[in-house]
Amino acid sequence: MNEEQYRERILQLARRKDAEDDFLGMLITCRDEWVTSFLYETAAGVRQKLYGRDVYIRGLIEISNFCKNDCYYCGIRKSNRELTRYHIGEDEILECCEEGYALGFRTFVLQGGEDGYYTDDRLCRIITGIKKEYPDCAVTLSLGERSRESYKKLHDAGADRYLLRHETADETHYRQLHPSSLSLENRKQCLFYLKELGYQVGSGFMVGSPGQIPEHLIEDLRFLQKLQPAMIGIGPFLPHKDTPFREEKEGDLTMCLNLTAILRLLFPHALIPATTALGTLHSEGRELGILAGANVVMPNLSPLSVRQLYSLYNNKACTGLEAAEHKVLLEKRMERIGYRIVTSRGDVVK
């Protein structure tokens, strides 16, 4: 395809909000700058029509690094004996929210490993507490796979959103990343339960995880088209020194940006973060993500003492641009590229 044909097909993708597998595959792996820059510009244009130049922020509170699962890629997997484990209690979570609210955060994301300490009752108390204190804020949970009943109780207590990446939609690839105790079927089932219960649902996948091929990424996009999530989080796979994948190669920046732009064109309304992993892979990863069509950033609002312990991958960024207390720095960096951080719940625009 020549330049003109590429441009026409990208514009067609933006119009149809869909494309054939072969073209998606070509775009995912494309490294020609004249194609990728047109792709990112088109995605940024679609984003600006709906969201202007606003960037939504979420305060990420990493409530626990205990996990009963043993995903091969993840630094907080059960078998990692090198890690000091922690979870934070109700009062500490509320203190994080207090600090976050003062900084202008209107969404709090409680994320953690699958930790039995957080029973339904405990979580319901936490959610009710946050909602009572900050009724104008959204509460997002990202606590892995739970039962439908549990998701219902948490939603009834006031949880608004739930993030659960499907990680990979390909059965064979899923098996390369997870032990036999976990199943793709259950992961997907959880996502559909969450939707059915009225959560705004977020899903997504890692880019460049071991064994991944472009066909898997196309399957990921097709799965997302079925799910129609409100939020889509992707980020590069990054190795962690105390996991079986310690020697594996990290995900590719261009591929992450290409996929961010493709997601924006397939799902114009979606809330798409420029993730911490992207910011860890490249010092300007956040900005590059926004310029390719992302519209959310999730600075770290966890207590300082635990940030390094929530160690999903090597060298996780959490103290510079990534830190909630350095919001001014983030604001400046966003202004420099023509975007602005806003104080709002940051819901999907209709």
Instruction: Kindly list the residues in this chain that would bind ligand SAM in the complex (CB under 6 A).
Output: 73-74, 76, 111, 113-114, 142-144, 164-165, 167, 206, 235, 237-238, 240, 277, 312-313
Nearer to ligand SAM, 19 or 164 (CB): 164
> Would the annotation count 137 as a binding residue?
no
Among residues 84, 27, 26, 78, which one has the least CA distance to residue 263? 27
- What are 204's two structure tokens? 């997504």
Minimum separation from the CB atom of position 202 to ligand SAM (A): 10
The residue type of 124 is: C
Q: What distance in Å separates the CA atoms of residue 138 and residue 56, rounded to the nearest whole number? A: 12
Nearer to ligand SAM, 47 or 166 (CB): 166
Minimum separation from the CB atom of position 64 to ligand SAM (A): 9
Nearer to ligand SAM, 46 or 74 (CB): 74
Number of residue whose CB is nearest ligand SAM: 144
Nearer to ligand SAM, 39 or 155 (CB): 155
Count, residues in the chain: 350
Minimum separation from the CB atom of position 80 to ligand SAM (A): 11
CB neighbours (10 Å) of residue 342? Answer: 15
Q: What distance in Å separates the CA atoms of residue 289 and residue 296, rounded to the nearest whole number? A: 9
Minimum separation from the CB atom of position 279 to ligand SAM (A): 12
Handedness of CA 51, 350, 191, 16 (dihedral sign): negative
Among residues 117, 129, 50, 142, which one has the least CA distance to residue 93? 129
Minimum separation from the CB atom of position 29 to ligand SAM (A): 20
Q: Which residues pair with 110 in a beta bridge?
A: 61, 141
End-to-end CA distance of the chain: 36
- Residue 27 backbone dihedrals phi, psi, to 5 degrees: -70, -40
> Would the annotation count 238 as a binding residue?
yes
Nearer to ligand SAM, 87 or 165 (CB): 165
> Would the annotation count 187 as a binding residue?
yes
Annotated binding-site positions for [4Fe-4S] cluster? 67, 71, 74
Annotated binding-site positions? 67, 71, 74, 142, 167, 187, 238
